[in-house]
Structure 1
Amino acid sequence: MSKYAERVHTDRNKIAELEALVTQLPSEARVALLLEDGRQLRGTVPVQPTVQIFRDAQEQEGVNALLRLDDLADPSHQHHLWLDQVRKVTPLGSF
């Protein structure tokens, strides 16, 4: 895994927000995501993401998490997203 992230966070409130999102994304969960840019994705979380320490392009250290989402319509297509891009998680229930 890369030690670099597009954005890193050091603010306690933002870190708590990321940690709360992680709890909504357990392994094998089927979810719909609303992203900060307005896109919506639907898929399965193969492995629960974890908040980790990364560096940004300016070498500032902070936290973020990388989320892999297997597309619901085409499971062979994987989305790799930084967790701070996610604005809302909606569970879709089991298969």
Structure 2
Amino acid sequence: MSRTAPRIHLDPARIAALEALLPQLNDGTRVELTLSDGRRVLGTVAVRPTLQQYRDAGGDEGSNGQLRLDDLDTPVQQHVVWLDEIAAIRTLPPIAG
């Protein structure tokens, strides 16, 4: 049984746009995300996301994915973001150490 998502995508161009985000979201990368609603989220990519198959509330199947970020200021706090909510990604410099 498939998991459900708030939105699924079937359009090849939209799926390609989601896939284009993945190389920017490698494990351990620090990022600032701008979401489609204007919110900004800063964090470290906990696990590189993948595009997966989900069902929507109507039972239709399509593509989307989830990104898990550890909060930049409070790493024990996690953010889960649907890939289709990401409007822009800005890679932040790694922590000097």
Does the alignment reach a TM-score above 0.5?
A: yes
Paired residue for 2:3? 3
Paired residue for 1:80? 80
3-state DSSP of counterpart to 2:46 = coil
Distance 1:23 1:58 in 2: 31
Paired residue for 1:51? 51
Distance 2:93 2:12 in 1: 31
TM-score (norm 1): 0.96
TM-score (norm 2): 0.94
Distance 2:55 2:84 in 1: 14
Q: How far apart are residue 23 of structure 1 and its match?
A: 1.2
Distance 1:4 1:81 in 2: 14
Cα deviations by residue, 1:26-53 (Å, 9 ceiling, x for unpaired): 1110000000010001100011000000
Distance 2:23 2:56 in 1: 24
Q: Runs of 5+ in structure 2 lacking a partner?
A: none
Paired residue for 2:71? 71
Q: Which entry has the higher C-alpha Rg, 1 or 2?
A: 2
Q: 1:7-18 alignment to 2 at 5 Å?
A: 7-18=7-18
Distance 2:43 2:80 in 1: 12
Aligned residues: 94
3-state DSSP of counterpart to 2:26 = coil
Distance 1:80 1:3 in 2: 15
Paired residue for 2:30? 30
Q: What residue identity is the alignment partner of 1:13?
A: A
Q: CA-atom RMSD, angstroms?
A: 0.9
Distance 1:66 1:33 in 2: 13
